[in-house]
Structures are given as C-alpha cells and as structure tokens.
C-alpha cells in the first residue's frame, strides 16, 4: 500500500457502515452482519477496527432487520433507515441527517466486509489529505479472479479515470483487474453534494455510490485509488459458505500468530480461537481444543485434547483436560489442575488444587491445595436459585461426594467417599454420610441357586 503523509491531527472522522441488505443468501432470520466470525458478529469486527481511528460519529444504515441492529449497537452508533433500497449511493444519502453539522472526513464501510485493517483505513484518510486534494479516495484490490466486481480504471499514479460496475462495463473494461472494494473516504463537505448529482440511468436502475467518482471527474476534480496488498481484507460475506471461508481464514491467521508468540499447537488446524482469546508463552495446546469468547491463558499452561473453554482464566502452570469443559467464570489459580470430564462454571480452583476426574464444580470457591475426588458434584441449584460451595485449603473431598449448597467445608477437612454433605464441615473434621452396611452371609449364593432353578423350570415348561 502506498505510503502517504498522515492527515492533520485536528481533522475529525465519521464512519458510515452500510448494512441495509436483506442477506437473502444467508437463509437466516438473523441479520447478515450479526452472523459471528470467531464468536463475534462480523459488524463488531469492523467497528473494533474503526474504533482505533477514534471516530466522532458512527452511522449504520439499516433496512431489513434494523431492530436487531438497534439491539446490538445500543447508543454506540446512530441508525439511519434505507427504505426502499435504491442502491449504495441512496444508502449513504440516508446518513445525511445523522451527520448534520459534522465537518471532517467520512469513511464509508460495509457491514459484511468485516476485516478491513485500521492501517488501511488510516491510509485512505491520509490519501484524502494528499497534496492533490482528491475529492474521493477509493480502496481497490486485485483478486486472483476478478469475477463480477466493479472495475477501477486508473492512471499509473493512482488517479482514477473512471469507475464502472461489472454489469455496465464493456469487455475491454472488464479486462482490467483492479477492482472496487466499495470502501471510500470523502470529506463531509463533498460527500452529499456529489451524491445529489448521481443519477440512476444504469442497468439496475439504482443510485451507485461509485458514480460520485465519475461526477467529481466531470467537474475536473482528482479522485484517487489506493490498493490493498491483502485482497482478503475486503472480502465480503454473503452466504454461509463465504462465512465459513472467512472463519477459516481468520482461524489460520490466529493460529499462526499464537505460534509466533510462543505457543505450541500440536495440530493447529484442529484448534479454534475466539476473537478475544489471550494466549501466553510456552502454552501447550493439544488437538481439538475450542476457545469460546473471554478466555485468558497465562504462560506455561497445558491444555489437553478435546477441551472446551469459554469465559475462563487460567494462571501460570495450570493443566486441564483431556475432555475438560470450562464455562464462564471459571478461574484456575497457579499450578491447579482439572482432569478428564471435569466441568467448571463460576468457580475458583485455588493454587495447586486438583479435580482430576469426572466432577462438576459450579458456583464454588476451592482453596489452595484442595483435592476433589472423582465424581464429586457441587449441588448448586435448587430449582429457583444458585447457591455457593466453599471448600477450604487442603481439604480432601472423597470420590462420589455430593456437596449440597450452600455449604462450607473447612480447611484440612475430609469428606469421606460417597457422602452427601448438607451441613457445614469444620476445619480438620471428618464428615462421613453413609447408610449402615448390612451383611447377610450366604444370601447371594441362595439367591443365585433359586433364580437358576426358576429359569430352568421356565425353559422345561
């Protein structure tokens, strides 16, 4: 991408995000731009990138499903409604009221093009403030297959001669490989004045945003293109297949980054990260591990195969899995361990504590050095409310125990295997809750003899 001088620091920025399309190819009741990539709606990926430029105003142009966008965005962006939908130029015009009184630069983005990098946006704004003061800056790209993208006919110095939609282009124009991403940077004082001159005398009968370039050119004003060196960043998502392809590209890059930052991925293609996953150094991640949103992993952690993590914090030296499930609110302190088929939810496992097998720990606080035996369950829900279990330091919970919350187990206490604990256990106490064992010598032998005789008689009869 061509380097240009940065824009003046005092120049404010507004963004307009076009998201009025019906997204019919998604075959979904969910708004297209709210479909997630790496656990985050694609629109949020785009807004997070734009936020790094600190826009003063943000406008999302909506049509079908605008209620979903309003619910997602709250007060973070103004919603402008495009109804009916008469093309991209018409869509941008709907943002005029929301930008009333704004004087500065405007970036026009697309909600279904979520991975535009902040540095690309900055380069567009910088070019807008170039010495030749272009009226419009367009982001171009050169894909391996130009398909049916609109074309940008430009001079060698990046000045645009003409832009044309594919359906309106001649075969000679279609031979050009420089394609229009649709993204533009325009000064606010030019944007709506140019749009007012756009007409719809084209094959689709629509008002094309791209025509503001041609209008400006007729007025003998310079328009410029900058070209991204990564065509994937302007790839649109319009179908489930394209959504899956975008997810795959995102995951590939995130895996590469994790390994470059010092983590080991035994089978990288089987590990899936979320948009906000934080991974430390010397982390070992075995095959088939899935990270949901909100996971932070410190240094020297081992995550064994087939584990699923979401909303969890793992401190240094932790080991989990295989087949562990950490749900939101799970916190594993340094050097603690969660083994196979253990589930944690809103629970803290203290430093050096262990839950090695087949346990559910929900709404619990477990002290340092405690040992949770196989099959232990914190019974945290009474059908109406959640209750907390507190287990003290170095406590030993025997296998197949049920801790019926709210309950406290003291430090150094022992809960005998098979106990159902409904009252607090003091420090250093033993709690044993079992029925009396009844022994009847010879009963089993007599039972077997009787049943064998009955079965034999049944067959003979």
Among candidate residues 308, 357, 387, 448, the one labeled active-site is 357
Tracing tokens 């607090």 back to the chain, one arrives at: 424
Q: Please give the Cα distance from 356 to 310 (Å, whole number).
A: 19
Tracing tokens 């996953």 back to the chain, one arrives at: 277
Q: Please give the Cα distance from 184 to 391 (Å, whole number).
A: 59
Q: Are 74 and 194 in contact (CB under 8 A)?
A: no
Cα-trace Rg, the chain: 31
Residue 19: which of 82, 99, 78 has the closest Cα?
82
Has 90 been annotated as catalytic? no
Q: Please give the Cα distance from 329 to 348 (Å, whole number).
A: 8
Contacts 24+ apart (CB under 8 A), 381-390: 386/346, 386/362, 387/363, 388/363, 388/364, 389/363, 389/364, 389/365, 390/364, 390/365
Beta-sheet pairing, 389-391 with 407-409: parallel
- Enumerate the active-site residues: 357
């Amino acid at each position: 991408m061509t380097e240009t001088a940065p824009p003046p620091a005092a120049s404010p920025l507004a963004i307009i995000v076009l998201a009025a399309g019906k997204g019919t190819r998604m075959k979904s009741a969910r708004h297209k731009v709210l479909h997630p990539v790496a656990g985050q709606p694609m629109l949020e990926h785009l807004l997070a990138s734009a936020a790094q430029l600190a826009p003063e105003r943000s406008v999302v142009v909506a049509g079908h499903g605008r209620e979903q966008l309003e619910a997602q965005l709250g007060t973070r962006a103004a919603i402008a409604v495009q109804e009916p939908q008469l093309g991209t130029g018409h869509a941008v015009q709907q943002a005029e009221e929301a930008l009333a009184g704004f004087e500065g630069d405007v970036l026009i983005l697309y909600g279904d093009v979520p991975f535009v990098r902040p540095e690309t946006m900055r380069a567009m704004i910088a070019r807008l403030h170039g010495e030749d003061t272009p009226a419009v800056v367009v982001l171009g790209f050169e894909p391996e297959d130009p398909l049916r993208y609109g074309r940008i006919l430009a001079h060698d110095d990046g000045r645009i001669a003409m832009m044309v939609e594919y359906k309106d282009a001649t075969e000679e124009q279609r031979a050009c490989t420089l394609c229009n991403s649709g993204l533009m940077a325009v000064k606010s004082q030019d944007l709506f004045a140019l749009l007012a001159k756009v007409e719809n005398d084209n094959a689709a009968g629509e008002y094309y945003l791209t025509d503001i370039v041609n209008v400006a050119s007729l007025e003998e004003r310079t328009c410029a293109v900058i070209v991204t060196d990564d065509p994937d960043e302007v790839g649109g998502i319009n179908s489930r297949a394209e959504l899956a392809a975008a997810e795959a590209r995102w995951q590939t890059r995130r895996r590469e980054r994790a390994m470059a930052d010092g983590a080991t991925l035994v089978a990288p293609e089987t590990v899936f990260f979320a948009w906000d996953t934080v991974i430390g150094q010397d982390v070992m991640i075995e095959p088939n591990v899935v990270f949901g949103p909100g996971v932070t992993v410190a240094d020297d952690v081992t995550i064994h195969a087939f584990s699923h993590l979401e909303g969890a914090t793992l401190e240094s030296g932790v080991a989990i899995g295989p087949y562990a499930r950490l749900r939101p609110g799970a916190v594993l302190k340094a050097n603690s361990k969660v083994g196979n088929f253990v589930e944690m939810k809103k629970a803290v496992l203290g430093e050096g504590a262990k839950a090695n097998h087949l346990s559910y720990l929900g709404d619990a606080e477990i002290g340092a050095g405690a040992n949770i035996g196989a099959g232990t369950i914190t019974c945290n829900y009474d059908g109406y409310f959640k209750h907390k279990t507190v287990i003290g330091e170095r406590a030993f919970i025997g296998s197949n125990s049920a801790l019926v919350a709210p309950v406290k187990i003291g430090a150094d206490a022992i809960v005998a295997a098979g106990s159902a604990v409904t009252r607090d256990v003091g420090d250093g106490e033993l709690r044993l809750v079992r029925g009396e064992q009844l022994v009847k010598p010879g009963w089993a032998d007599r039972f077997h003899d009787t049943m064998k005789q009955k079965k034999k008689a049944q067959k003979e009869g």
